[in-house]
Chain A
Amino acid sequence: MSQNKSLSLSRRNFLKTSLLAGGGMLIGFNLLSACKPEAILPIDISKLNFNDFNAFIKISDEGYVTIFSPNPEIGQGVKTAMPMIIAEELDVDWNKVSVAQGIYDPKNYQRQVAGGSQSIRFGWDALRQTGATTKQMLVNAAAKQWGVNPSSCYASQGIITNANGDTLGYGEVVKVAANLEVPENIILKDPKDFKIIGHDITNVDIQKIITGKPLFGIDYSSEGMVYASVLRPPAFGDKLTSYDDQISRSINGVLDVIKFGNKIAVLGTNTWAAMKGKKAIVSRWEQDTKLESTDDHNFELLKILNGNKFKTNREDGNVKTAFKNADKIIERTFESPFLPHNCMEPMNFYANVTDKKVHLVGPIQTPAWTSGKIAKILDRKPEEIHLEMTRMGGGFGRRLYGDFAEEAAQISNIIKKPIQVIFSREDDMAAGTYRPAIKYRIKAAIKDGKLTAYHLKEAAINGNMYGLIANFFPAGCIPNYKVSTANYKSNITTGAWRAPFTNFLAFAEQSFFSEIASELEIDHPQLIIDLLQNVKGTTDERIQYSPERMEETINLVIKKSNWGETPEGVYQGFSAYYSHNTHVAEVADIELKNGMPVVKKVTVAVDCGIVVNPLGAKNQVEGGVIDGIGHAMYGDFSFKAGTPQSVNFDKYRLIRMEETPEVKSYFVESNLSPTGLGEPGLPPAGGAVANAIFKATGQRLLKQPFINQLEISESKILG
């Protein structure tokens, strides 16, 4: 089971304190160097460097504190929550804190990644140590000034007080503090004394957001910058053979047209000219590799499920024998489509490649990985790459992949000008790193009224579930248990999408358990709680979830949702899922309107340990739930001969305001170290809705999106 181990900051972990030219102190820590991540993240993310990172605190002579937030902000709230943790232990008035985005700086920060809901979990101990050590240095400096023992002084809200009642502000002692030895064996606060953590703190960028200040990558511009619109292959598998740019070049504002690799970039004095210029290019493409269609994917994935070429991810007991001896076997196949990410801010990046350096600015979840790739592509030294991260208009996994930044760097390298690549929405949806289509087949054996075997088969595209998932629920709960995986290689680019794999697996599993519960004539949440008893006290260290925490989370949602006590016409569905180290349980309430199900309310219970910022936490959980419902209901994306069939919001349906249910979120009270919230709210949502729809209409939904599957119930219309 995963718990953060306490860290000690040793002298060698500490970088330095330095006096600033303009006054004040800059303090830097090499954080997390002792912390090895226990969790191996999704396959695409695990290649990234997860070792160490640093944080900086700047204190002015006036006592104002600037905290540099090292991790990329994609809307998950870390730019507010990570500095809150430092400020808590530093013990300053939050109103005197300003937060700045740290740049990509591998010497001083590490694990500058937004992915896997891990920023807070990995940062927790280290950020607290940073704040607490800095506070102790300031206390030591004040004690020195007074000529008293530091242990007779205490600090609170940016003020140090001694036994005589004398006070000094942090700003008054920073210069002395900066030259002191770094103290060791720092004592952290008791969580009951927290003044910032656990309190509602507004998004640190709120003022800029509501007044339209430049903040996002797409808002960046520099003197002499030109805009680039890129023509990419219309179909996955196409190769550029020739093109005619005569008309394009005649358009006002078009500066140049260049070919790079299999793509053409149109440079313009403004975005509109570049986009118009791109549309005016007459291009010819030929088939290079296979041109795949959704029908091909369905055929291939079913072929995998019906075959026997699987890898075993985990096997307990003897599944084969258990199925042979079963009274009844239930088997279902669950199917999902590809999904684009559709960040509201389309992909974009700024690059200025000069002989001296490569300057990159933009929205990226993986600055380290991307900088490294660009250094290789341009054959430059890593230290010549200077990458600034901006706030991101959504990430959802799309901005883990720096293809757009690579394009910007390549184009700037050719034309030797500062440029900004901007994707149109059509570019963004047609050149994705999609959540691939996936199919699960789940088979269960029932004997003497008990679940005796469970076999999950995964047929995926371009990769399978990451290593830990086979050890999520119900691993350890069922004596005969097996997870088998196999995949099909496609030339369509695929990648992580908010809660990789679990975003669909949770729906499949929790829909299946709802059906098993009906078969066993037991309430769905009760079935899960009964199964959880089997794993309590386990010595199996591979098991990822905590049965105690999951049970408590389920009990909380049952209580808060009035499970089973709804008025007539309201149908409830349950779902519980552990992912990204966080336990979540959800209940969806639906009603029928003209025979069609309408999700009215979702009650969600979460155990993420200590809630750092309740205001931000609720936003994440509620957004995750609605996102999960939206994609389960409407998310549909298909290919024909390698070409995406919907490339803008007129054809691709995202959930909107009138389809949004009320969401009530509740957190299990806890003193355990916090875990992430960017993803875990999403996976259970689809299952909760599907199970509620079953109760209302008797229809079991096995495929997403639901909107294509719903059978309108005549009797319900008439009734």
Chain B
Amino acid sequence: MTNYTLKINGKKVTVTADEDTPLLWVLRDELLMKGTKFGCGIAQCGACTVHVNNIAVRSCSLPISSISEESITTIEGLSENGTHPVQLAWKEIDVPQCGYCQAGQIMTASAFLKVQPAPTKDEIREAMHGNICRCASYNRIEKAVKLAAKNS
């Protein structure tokens, strides 16, 4: 077990973990930040998406030992009280059904809009293709991303 100091949502935190422990389980089980979700464990579904230096990353496949100075943002730290344009758009469009995958969808969408602030429909679909929504709220996700882009 090793001590790791991480920068999560603007705050420095120190945790003790085995070096191969994925960031996902550090967030969920050590820091009790339950917003980042476990879906597949092999980076195939996107439920665990967080930002590492503003880039969308699958936290289920990111060992804690590979992180040092990077700035990590989770759904809990995306905004104060859910006021990020993507979160507001999700609310306005009423995207979720079960809601489980949505934190990952929101994190993927918000990282994408940073690099592509005015995406086309096809670009949105391509960017969001890696995130599974088993309830198939895909069309509302597309609409919400478009709306967030407009309101950003």
Contact = CB atoms under 8 A, between A and B. Distances in A.
A648 B138 contact: no
A620 B97 contact: yes
29 contacts: A75-B98, A76-B97, A206-B91, A210-B90, A210-B102, A211-B75, A211-B81, A211-B82, A212-B34, A212-B76, A216-B37, A227-B29, A273-B18, A342-B134, A344-B100, A394-B98, A619-B140, A622-B136, A623-B97, A626-B136, A627-B136, A630-B136, A648-B40, A648-B44, A650-B42, A654-B134, A656-B129, A658-B129, A663-B139
A271 B132 contact: no
A270 interface: yes
A626 B75 CA distance: 27
A207 B28 contact: no
Contacts of B141: 657
Interface in A609-660: 615-616, 619-620, 622-624, 626-627, 630, 648-650, 654-658, 660
> What secondary structure prevails in chain B residues at the interface with A?
loop
A216 B100 contact: yes
A280 to B, nearest CB: 13
Contacts of A623: 97, 135-137
Interface of B: 1, 18, 21-22, 25, 28-30, 32-42, 44-45, 47, 74-76, 78, 81-82, 87, 90-91, 94, 96-103, 106, 125-126, 128-142
Interface string A363-401: 000000000000000000000000000011111100000
A657 B98 contact: no
Nearest to A348: B38
Contacts of A660: 125, 136, 138-139
Given A623-B135, A623-B137, A209 B41 contact: no
A215 interface: yes
B96 A657 contact: no
B135 to A, nearest CB: 5
B44 A210 contact: no
Contacts of B91: 202, 206-207, 210
A391 B98 contact: yes
Contacts of A649: 40, 42, 44-45, 132
Given A211-B75, A252-B18, A206 B134 contact: no
A75 B135 contact: yes
Contacts of A227: 29
B103 A212 contact: yes
A346 B76 contact: no
Interface residues of A, number: 66
A619 B87 contact: no
Contacts of A624: 136
Given A619-B97, A656-B129, A210 B106 contact: yes
Contacts of B133: 344
Nearest to B1: A252
A425 B130 CA distance: 17
A276 to B, nearest CB: 8
A400 to B, nearest CB: 15
A344 B60 CA distance: 14
A345 B40 contact: no
A623 B1 CA distance: 44
Interface in A186-205: 200, 202-203, 205
B29 A211 contact: no
Contacts of B38: 218, 271, 346, 422
Contact of A211 (B40, B41, B87, B140): B87
A322 B86 CA distance: 62
Contacts of B140: 619, 622
B100 A394 contact: yes
B98 A271 contact: no
Nearest to B124: A657
Given A216-B100, A270-B29, A202 B94 contact: yes
Nearest to B74: A212
Given A344-B45, A623-B97, A272 B136 contact: no
A341 to B, nearest CB: 9
A210 B144 CA distance: 12
A650 B39 CA distance: 12
A77 interface: yes
B94 A203 contact: yes
A343 interface: yes
A61 B71 CA distance: 47
A305 interface: no
Contact of B102 (A200, A209, A626, A657): A209
A219 interface: yes
Contacts of A207: 82, 91
